[in-house]
Amino acid sequence: MAKKRRPPNIKEKPPDNHLEAKKYGEPRTFDPNFKGPVVNRSCTDVLCFIIFILFIIGYIILGLIAWVNGDPRRVAYPTDSQGHFCGQKGTPNENKSILFYFNLFSCTSPSVMVNLQCPTTQICVSKCPEKFLTYLETQLLYKKDKNSWTYYSQFCKTPIPKSDRTLSQILMDDNCPAAIFPSKPFLQRCFPDFSTKNGTLTVGNKTMFEDGKGKTRNAGELRAAANHINKILDAKSLGMKLFEDYATTWYWILMGLIIAMLLSWIFLILLRFTAGFLFWVFMSGVIGVIGYGIWHCYKEYNNLRGQENSHLTIYDIGIQTDISMYLQLRQTWLAFMIILCILEALVILMLIFLRNRIRISIALLKEGSKAIRYVPTTLIYPVLTFIFLSICICYWAVIAVYLATSGVPIYKIIAPAGQCEHENKTCDPEIFNTTEISKACPGAQCIFAFYGGKSVYHQNIPTLQTFNLFVFLWLINFVFALGQCTLAGAFASYYWALEKPEDIPPYPLFTAFGRAIRYHTGSLAFGSLILALIQMFRIVLEYLDKRLKESQNNISKFLQCCLKCCFWCLEKAVKFLNRNAYVMIAIYGKNFCRSAKDAFNLLIRNVLKVAVMDKVTDFVLILGKILVTGCIGVLAFLLFTERLPILIEGPSLNYYWVPLLTVVIGSYLIAHGFFSVYAMCIDTLFICF
């Protein structure tokens, strides 16, 4: 098959009757002058190309608008209660880069989870408190030691010359905290300095302390108030250990990934000789395993003969939570044996009646291995796809951040008890304490919530975020479509080369890439647009499901489940059809609809061949991925657990599973990239065949 040029579908059986031919199209006839992908072709789906370009231009304009109005520093820097950045250059807070919470105990309020804000005043400070001190203590010590007040006043919103105000006045004006605790900066925020002493949780070596309001608190209460902070502190220690492990093993990880790349390439090359052997050995194993299952079921069925209650039926004992009760019945093992016998018979009959189609599939696998050997540059293409995808993902993420940080500071009322009728209403922090709301809702705070505005742009930010997501999905699918069309063109050039490698065109991969970009951008955009619309609808369904989860009844949940399932199946079907349509585009240069129709008719006329080839190919590629990943994983496990002291001394690690998982996942992704090229090669050769 590698030496002789064949026209597409030359072995395809003619339709049984005229009606079937009319329904699924006529097979292509032999054309001795056809020499591969059509050279003289014209641009296809020009209208979709224009729409695609307009969307990209709009996407670029959206990025510029978001860049002008957004400010990612709002994500990088913590923001105080007034909406000012901590540590931003050129502002009064330039030297105050850390956020300090006045009353961390208020973070246990239910409103924290609703509003994602702690209902207490937050200010920017240059350093965190290093000792326990209450406002009342500074008043008592003021005449003897003014340094204590000087130290305490740096955690107030505005400088106060002396502590001559009462505690109630300070709390009413919300100018200073009632107490400060030993803290440490992390993620530019002051977090309590928790530690353990003799198994007891402490803060600054104290288990009990005053909160400045006449109450005695313990470290456990403060920990409960900052439980999410403690998780971050624990994550810090874990993160440092993970970083140390990566720093120690990075060259071993890199070496493992390089070996995975070599193993994947060797596996693809050797498929020319081992594809049939691997398949038949696996099928023999399947038949043997099912046969062993039949024997085991018969043995258990025979052993239970004569035992007490073994003659009972499943209907007699009813529904039981203890599964072992069913295994004590002869009827259970008889049912298992019958099911396995039927399954064994189906597998054997399938192998007998589909043996010719299996041979064709194995021949295509071997031919695909030859194609990879003659056009090795195709194995580099996944790197180009990765670069394109990285650009799309980064651009989408940057625009999303800039859109999210567009606008002016918006302040909302947040009450500690969460029961204020004015809660979540907008407010002005400059005059909030003089309004009636502060009196009607004691303890309520006017706190920065988010960035927004009342202009047309700010009011339509959710719409722009939706547009950002949709174009991102369109571009991602276009990148995949471009890769499939390019690889199909390269492998089609190989297929129709009479003498290999002499008749293979020079640089087939780059030639196919140029053809796809120059003539078929519109067609690829058309196919990727259909997929993007389906994926967008699925995302909308998931969003509605999350938002309306509590208010749904059983009928609406069932309908939503059905919709999700239907659109999942539709997406898979469209992906499969698009993949084959891109092969037809690469070969014949027709528009998307014509190519999709021809591909569909061809697949329907050869549905059994398609099914068998698809499953055989999937099996071989899955086996290859398991083989590559398993080999690298075992070697990495032996190395990182220091079980190869005779051959090589492994590194000393905190968590050996960190580099191990990195190597295993990386090896799988590399194998997947190599084998995706091979799968596209098989699909192209099948369409050509």
Q: Render pLDDT for 630-688 as a digit per residue (tens, 0 to 9).
A: 888 888 888 777 776 666 666 666 777 778 888 888 888 888 877 788 788 877 777 77
Asked whether the predicted pLDDT for residue 470 surpasses 80, the reply is yes
> Which residues are CB-neighbours of 453 under 8 A, at least 6 positions away?
406, 407, 408, 410, 459
Average pLDDT rounded to a whole number, residues 280-290:
81
Quote the CA–CA distance of 87 and 99 in Å, as a whole number.
9
Closest CA to 83 of 403, 411, 424, 453: 411
Pairing between β-strand 189-192 and β-strand 183-186 as defined by DSSP bridges: antiparallel
pLDDT of residue 572: 87
Residue keyed to tokens 């062993």? 292
Highest mean pLDDT, choosing among 71-75, 240-244, 395-399, 555-559: 395-399
* pLDDT score for 416: 59
pLDDT at 417: 54
Q: For 543, phi and psi rounded to 5 degrees? A: -65, -45
Is the pLDDT higher at 632 or at 246? 632
- Give the pLDDT score at 192: 78
Residue from 466, 495, 420 nearest 7 by CA? 495
Q: How many CA atoms lie within 13 A of 527 on its CB side?
A: 33
Average pLDDT of the segment spanning 329-338: 82
- Residue 142 tokens read as 């003021």
Q: Given this model, what pLDDT does residue 310 score? A: 60
- Confidence at residue 251, expressed as pLDDT on a 0 to 100 scale: 79
The span from the CA of 220 to the CA of 209, in Å, is 11
Closest to 257 (Cα-Cα) out of 575, 526, 629: 629
Greater pLDDT, 293 or 217: 293
Residue 108 has pLDDT above 60, yes or no: no
Least confident of 434-448, 516-530, 588-602: 434-448
| 624 token code pair | 């290859």
Closest CA to 400 of 463, 501, 469: 469
What is the pLDDT confidence band of residue 532, given thresholds at 50, 70 and 90?
very high
- Alpha carbon separation from 173 to 122, 168, 415, 443, 574 (Å, rounded): 14, 9, 16, 11, 63
Beta-bridge partners for 101 = 122
In one-letter notation, the amino acid at residue 494 is Y
Report the share of the chain in percent with pLDDT over 70: 74
End-to-end CA distance of the chain: 9
Q: Which of 614, 537, 599, 528 is nearest to 568 (CA)?
A: 537
Q: Which pTM does this prediction carry? A: 0.67
- pLDDT grade, residue 533 (50/70/90)? very high
Q: How far apart are CA 461 and CA 452, in angstroms?
A: 9
Q: Which residue is associated with the tokens 């008890």?
A: 417
Share of residues in the chain with pLDDT > 90 (%): 6
* Other C-beta atoms lying within 10 Å of the C-beta of residue 35: 15
Residue scoring higher pLDDT (447 or 44): 44
Give the model's pLDDT for residue 1.
38
State the pLDDT at residue 242: 67
More confident residue, 598 or 313: 598
Question: What is Dmax (Cα atoms) for the chain?
Answer: 109
pLDDT band at 554 (very low <50, low <70, confident <90, very high): confident
> pLDDT class for 32, splitting at 50, 70, 90?
low
Average confidence score pLDDT of the chain: 76
Tell me phi and psi for residue 248, to 5 degrees.
-80, -30
pLDDT at 362: 77
Question: Average pLDDT for residues 216-237, to the nearest whole number?
Answer: 59
168 versus 185: which is more confidently predicted?
A: 185
Mean pLDDT score, 20-49:
67
